[in-house]
Amino acid sequence: MTALSGSRRIWLTGASSGIGLAVARKLLDQGHRVALSARSVSALTALAEVRDNALVVPLDTTDPQAVARAADRIDDAFGGLDLALLNAGTCEYLDARHFDMALVKRVLDANLYGTLHCLDAALPLLRRARAANGRPLIAVTSSAAAYLPLPRAEAYGASKAALSHFMEALRIDLIDEGIDVSVIHPGFVKSPLTDRNDFPMPLRIDAETAAQAILEGLEARRLDIHFPRRFTLAIRLLGILPPGLRLRIGRRLARPNDMESRS
């Protein structure tokens, strides 16, 4: 089992459930100093109990002032960051027959702007680690949905595709500073979010398996950490097909009741 080497100062958002919770447990068990952020104070407190290397920093990532205060607290406790693992996010599906702009905004705020608020706050702490002869790392959780347009995923897929594009471009601009960027593209992972899905989820894996894949990718400093690979490689290939073929695939993936209502 691959562990993240060294003794690192880490900020992990979305640490209270799903992938984030599984990653948090592994990092803490490996002895890293981890600032744990999520909205659920009780979940974070339970996770940090009897672990003196955990720092509980409750946070709503969509609130930029709260994010700035959280970063100040982490800076006071850690004196910099070696890894910012920005994992917080949400998923809601859009019914195009009843277009819901409030839903679109919620998803974009959480998945794109919330992550960028944390990035903005984390960069000065990462630069401090770089100045101390380290090579800090930023990792963000996107989604395999960034590779291919999917039914009802207009808001979710767009937020993740925008996040992936932003981080890949930022990677180019940060490399000369000695700051690396990894983008994580999971397939279906069992979590409270995916438990709500009402459609088949091929090759869904458990959060422990996902967490191990993430740690292995971070240790290797992979640019694109995607898993399970049989699923994500197939999705990536489908994503480069001509638009007409992608449309046909999308219609085949749509739920039967959705198709009937549109006919």
The 10s digit of each residue's pLDDT in 137-196 is 999 999 999 999 989 999 999 999 999 999 999 999 999 999 999 999 999 898 887 778
Q: Kindly state whether residue 53 falls inside one of the protein's structural domains.
A: yes
- Both tokens assigned to 204: 């869904």
The tally of domains found in the chain comes to 1
Output the domain CATH number for residue 198: 3.40.50.720
Q: Kindly state whether residue 21 falls inside one of the protein's structural domains.
A: yes
Q: Are 187 and 227 in contact (CB under 8 A)?
A: yes
Q: Kindly state whether residue 207 falls inside one of the protein's structural domains.
A: yes
Q: Kindly state whether residue 261 falls inside one of the protein's structural domains.
A: no
Q: Which of 93, 113, 147, 156 is catalytic?
A: 156
Q: Kindly state whether residue 257 falls inside one of the protein's structural domains.
A: no
The reply to whether 156 belongs to the active site is: yes
**Global model pTM greater than 0.85:** yes
In this predicted model, what pLDDT tens digit does every residue of 182-238 receive, in sequence order?
A: 999 999 898 887 778 777 778 889 999 999 999 999 999 999 999 999 999 999 999
User: Residue 137 is part of which domain span?
Assistant: 9-238
Q: Kindly state whether residue 41 falls inside one of the protein's structural domains.
A: yes
Q: Kindly state whether residue 102 falls inside one of the protein's structural domains.
A: yes
Q: Kindly state whether residue 146 falls inside one of the protein's structural domains.
A: yes
